[in-house]
Amino acid sequence: MSRYLYSIIRCLPDPRTGEFVNYGAIAGDPVTGDWEIRQLSKTDRIRKFAPVAVLEIAGSFMLQLGADIDAHRALMEEGGEPLGEEWLQRLHHDHRNVVQLSPPTPILADNAREALERVFQHVIIDPVTQPRLGVTKDVLTRRLRDVYHRADIDESLIHHRPHVFVGAHVNYTMDFAIANGRAVQLTQAWSFRRSSLDGVSMQVKAWGYAIDRLRQGDEARVIDSNNQRVSTIDRNVDLQVVIAPPETSAQEHVFEEAQEIFASLAAQVHSLDDVEAVGARAEMLLRRL
């Protein structure tokens, strides 16, 4: 057996949510140039999940990928170099929108077709993945809203997606602020259980920069997105974070980086298992007003 590499080819109707369906896979030997692609044969559930326009993009990508492999086979017959590992790495890096490729992963096989057979038997999950099981940011924020309501907090004090301004130039849209002239709690949700976390990493850093300026004492205010009501924010405002924790090593790496930011800002971090504590904390702080 030889060392092959494979990547799962995924289709994301809305890359912002992280929800995806597996569309196919690519596997090959970067030394010999033995590459093959394969598309899922059963697409009924994919069609229910993804619009036709999105599936057309994924289908066109697969066709172009196949054409590239065929072209390089012809070049190799004339003495050209095979498609190497850097080619697959580049595909993974460059495609971060509707079509995405999982990080190249080694697998032992006798040929590319056998490698794909192993991938389809043991790796590909069909087809709606973890975000449908309750790990998207939307699910986290809906759960938070429910928690605030169960805590018997007046609806007028729950500000969803308010704008937080810090100093003269820094602003960030928070998920929730509990405020009535003065903010008593700011809450942000992050899902680290996504196929691509590059956007999450940048968002955490941008959020962290804004909150750090707040913690340093810059004048800050929160403006409700609906009625433009303004509330001041104290530098020691209660800061809560609710997460969907990572499951893979790649997700863990991004989460560890985020944890350092959370700790530096004195944010309390909760999973869905103890998200009720966020509402209880907000209710207690409001009673002190």
- Between the alpha carbon of residue 77 and those of residues 82, 83, 270, the distances in Å are 10, 13, 57
Q: What are phi and psi of 240, to 5 degrees?
A: -120, 145
Matching CATH number, 132-287, of 3.40.1350, 3.90.550, 3.90.79, 3.30.70: 3.40.1350
pLDDT-based confidence at 126, cuts 50/70/90? very low
- Output the pLDDT for position 227: 65
Mean pLDDT, all residues of the chain: 87
- DSSP letter at 83 equals P
What is the mean predicted confidence (pLDDT) over 119-137?
A: 60
Give the start-end residues of each E strand in the chain.
2-11, 21-29, 34-39, 99-101, 105-109, 158-160, 163-166, 170-173, 176-179, 182-191, 220-223, 230-244, 268-271
The torsion angles phi and psi of 102, rounded to 5 degrees, stand at: -65, 160
Question: Which element (helix H / strand E) includes 28?
Answer: strand 21-29
Coil, strand or helix: which one is 201? helix
Reported as a pLDDT band with limits 50, 70 and 90, residue 96 is confident
Percentage of the chain beyond pLDDT 90 is 53
Q: Domain locations in the chain?
A: 2-128, 132-287
| pLDDT tens, residue by residue, 27-40 | 999 988 899 999 88
The pLDDT confidence band at residue 154, using thresholds 50, 70 and 90, is very high
Q: Quote the pLDDT of residue 131.
A: 40
